[in-house]
Structure 1
Amino acid sequence: MDSVVKKYRVDLNKLMQVYSANYLLFCRMFPTEMEPGEQLRLRPSGQSSPVFTGDFELKCCEQTRYTSVFAICQRYRHALPGLKEPHMVVKLYHDASLAEVCSSQQISKLKPRYDYPNHQMYQQDEKQQVNLFLYDWLHYCLKHRVAVDA
């Protein structure tokens, strides 16, 4: 009995749909016309969950005619030993109406596909998963009426 292992292929249509949805949600939630270095603090209202213990920071890293680059980081109120603050860098392509996560946590440049197994233990679809995480986070911000402070 031969077991054939199928090689993972990036579903470009699905990935582009996530990029498009992320762009629309991002633009709906936050001002995209920020100056480089400008920073906003995002505070979810009614933090009833004991898991969530902090605010988010949104910082404009780069602003050009067709693109914007933002860094998003969660800031814990109470530091937990060994737990790193989550962060990601998101690039918005205004001419194409797309938002892509360029880096996340320890990954400085996300590849569309990773061989598996690999030394870093990234999933084959790591890029898609991180972009879906951004999608979920933006929905969280909408659901919890995140307040934006300058």
Structure 2
Amino acid sequence: MSVFSVFDVAGSAMNAQSLRLNMTASNLANAETVAGSPEEAYKARQPVFAAALRSVQGGGEQAAVGVTMRDVAESDAPNQRLHMPDHPAADENGYVYRSNVNTVEEMTNMISASRSYQNSVEVMNTSKQLALQTLQLGQN
């Protein structure tokens, strides 16, 4: 693996963690929303990632070059039913349905994504420093 492949992989990882952070922010923003039915209520979403592969020239083999977002998975956890007969979105029985976002899980996910992003930045910086040192060896 060349040093430039490391940049591709680290950049792909940073992009994936950025998507994960954005989806977590969306979940947190909708944590307290309510709707008139369980089908309309917001459901927590998580990205599904897959390895991105590239064919290696000549041998027909494949080499990993990072990750890509394959899909978005919605949580199947039940929505909480609240009795709020005066709410404009209440159904005929006076119930509204809160989103199924678990804020503690989302905050944990946000911290994990943030640290993974920071690790990818460190990989990129270390690779850059190694490449620069290699170029300096060639100058001497």
Larger relative contact order (CA 8 Å, sep ≥ 6): 2
TM-score (norm 2): 0.25
TM-score (norm 1): 0.24
